[in-house]
Every structure is written in C-alpha cells, then in structure tokens.
Structure 1
C-alpha cells in the first residue's frame, strides 16, 4: 500500500530540470542578472526640525511667512562607487497682516549626512516676489552635485530646512566674567 507524503513547497533553487522547463523555458535556471549600476541608494528627503517655515514680524503682526511646500531628490552612481545627489525644494511665501507686496528672500539649506557627520551642506537664498494684488508666491531651487563618498553610499540622509543650518541651533553669546581682583594683604 502506498502512503501519500505531505506536500512540500517547491523551492526555486534551479535543481529541478522539469520545473525549470516550465519556469524558464529550459532545463537550467538562468544566471541572476547583475545589479543595475544606475540604481543608487536614494533616501527620502527629511525636513529639519524647526526648518519647515519662517515668520517675520513687524510691530507685533506677521509681516510674511515662508514655508517649504514640496521636496524632491534624485541620486545616481558616480565614479568609484560614489553617489551624486540632486535635491529640489519648492516653497511658498505668504503675506501677513503687517506685510506688503515685494521681494523676499528664502534662506534654504540642503544637508547630506552620514550619521552625525555632515558630508555636504549648501545654503542659498531663493528670491520670491509677491506682486501687488497677490497674497502669496512660490519659489523653487535645485541643488546639484552633492557627492556622497563610497563609504557612505548605502547609508546617508538628506535634510532640507529654512534658515541658517537646518536643525543646528544658533550659538548663544555669553559674557566673559569680569576679572576678579586678588584680595589685598
């Protein structure tokens, strides 16, 4: 008497010629395709903490506000295993009750990091003009040629922000303590 054995899952290790005929059209499994050299690691763009918007006040009222609306990135392989990064930032300037039409500067900073190490940081001012009769206008910048070394090509971060340096906080000025006179003897 024959006893049926439990069904087992067919593994695709390429050792079954009959299965290979159905799957691949031949008795052997074709070799794996090499990875595409144009495929580069490209992490999503993060907005720095506190760097999503800026406000300017005039006499207690908001003059204008500048905010990041959209971000985009593109990564490609470079020479020697490096990754070349291109980052786009689109933003919007809005007039507040204390504002007037005119030209405003949006200070945009793009930072590429590996852990806590800054690989590249670029800052630029994007000009945005709010015309008479309008309450807002948009701006866009594209930062190209940010190169990530091969040692960090598989694990880096991209961060954008409005202001001086992304998530970096401004340094506080401290007063030097007054010189203490030596006690008289």
Structure 2
C-alpha cells in the first residue's frame, strides 16, 4: 500500500478496472491493442479490503464503516460515445468525422479526516471516420459522484476537456486521463453504498461553458449629435 506523501493519516485505497467495449470497434480488425491500464495511478492493481480500510482509518480517528468500499464507476447512459459528422446530420457510413468512446476505467479512494477523495482514470479511443478529423479534437468528459436513490442527488461534479492529437495517417488514437481529487465529506451510516461515480461525454456542458466565458459584446456608443447654432 502506498501513501504517496500522506504521512500519519489513515488512507484506504481501492482500484477497479472495468472493460467497456467501444461501440463499433469489435468489427474493426486493425485496432491497436490497448496497453495495461492497471498502473494508471502508479499503485498497481491491488485492492484493500474493507477491514484494512477501517483499521487504517481508526488510527487516524476517522469513523469509517467496517465494510467501506470505494464507489463503483459507471458510464453514464446516453453519454458513452461522442460523434462528429461533416454536415451536422445524423451519422451514416460516409459523413462521420470521428467517434470517441470509453475503454477502461479505474478508481482509487482515500479516506482521511472524514473526507473521501477519489481519483478516476479513464482510457478512451478515438476512431477517425471517412470524412476525416481535424488534427486536434476537443473531448469534454464529465465526472460526477451521485447519491443514487428515489431522488438522486449530485455530490460533486467536474467537467474536463481533453485535447486529443491525431497524427497524419493515424485512424485509431488511444488516450488516458486521471481526474484528481473528487472530494466530499464522508456520508453518515451506509449512505456511501449508494454512491456512484459516473463518467460520460458532455458536449452540451462544454458549449455552455464556452458561452459563459465568451466576452460580452457591448453595444456601440452613439456619438452625440452636434447642436445647431441659431
């Protein structure tokens, strides 16, 4: 178990890898193989049990459930792929510029001073379509921790925008990203068992952010009319 510079604090770690097939990739024989994703956090693929997590946090005076487990990662339904077409119309065999999808995910949890901090790693793949893609593709990814239930409640959310470079002649590009420090107070009782980490593409959120950041246009000032002299 590594503490990565956190001395004297109880930490609990969990790392889970989830293989998620990219839609449309299974029938493509020329896709490059993805490298190992187990060391995305530099901690290998080991996991700590609930008893180990509770024991380490007890030394720091943190009240952690004995069966504490890091919330699972799920790809948000309806946000698993990002597609761009050359004409803005519905995707077909000829107008697709590129499609982006998720491959593997991983997460690591730390509990210290009654705060849960989560790292989330994603591996994705960008496929260039017949219409051709630009040299740089903006990939907006939304990370969110949600308390699921009858009335789901967002706990923390972040929007990250990755710039994926496409080399000339390359039609399949792998990329990875680690989102640091999705933090929130440790919930009471067993509520943490209902927490889910969602990952998904969010182009609408990126556009809204661009609009808010765009400088507001000021109306041109009218010059005062010259006074007529009698």
- Give the alignment's TM-score, normalised by structure 2: 0.53
1:161 correspondence with 2:219: no
1:34 positional shift: 9.6
Gaps of 5+ in 2: 1-50, 58-66, 90-94, 209-230
Identify if the C-alpha distance between structure 1 residues 147 and 165 changes in structure 2 by more than 3 Å, giving closer, same or farther: farther
Residue number in structure 1 paired with 2:69: 41
1:77 correspondence with 2:96: no
1:65 positional shift: 0.6
1:103 correspondence with 2:142: no
Q: How does 1:146-185 map to 2 (within 5 A)?
A: 146-151=182-187, 152-164=191-203
**Contact 2:83–2:99, Cα closer than 8 Å, also in 1:** yes
Q: SS of the counterpart of 2:154?
A: strand
Aligned residues: 135
| Superimposed CA distance per residue, residues 38-93 of structure 1 (whole angstroms, 9 cap, x where no aligned partner) | 5842122000001111110113500111111111100111212x311110111111
CA distance in 2, matches of 1:105, 1:76: 30
- Find the structure with the greater CA-based Rg: 1
Residue number in structure 1 paired with 2:100: 66
CA distance in 2, matches of 1:157, 1:58: 35
**Contact 1:126–1:139, Cα closer than 8 Å, also in 2:** no
CA RMSD between the two structures: 2.6
1:148 positional shift: 2.7
CA distance in 1, matches of 2:53, 2:134: 56
CA distance in 2, matches of 1:142, 1:33: 25
1:56 correspondence with 2:94: no
Please point out which of 108, 116, 132 is paired with 2:168: 132
1:92 correspondence with 2:106: no
Bigger strand fraction: 1
CA distance in 2, matches of 1:46, 1:118: 14
**Contact 1:86–1:146, Cα closer than 8 Å, also in 2:** yes
Residue number in structure 2 paired with 1:181: none
Identify if the C-alpha distance between structure 1 residues 118 and 100 changes in structure 2 by more than 3 Å, giving closer, same or farther: closer
CA distance in 2, matches of 1:142, 1:100: 25
Q: SS of the counterpart of 1:84?
A: strand
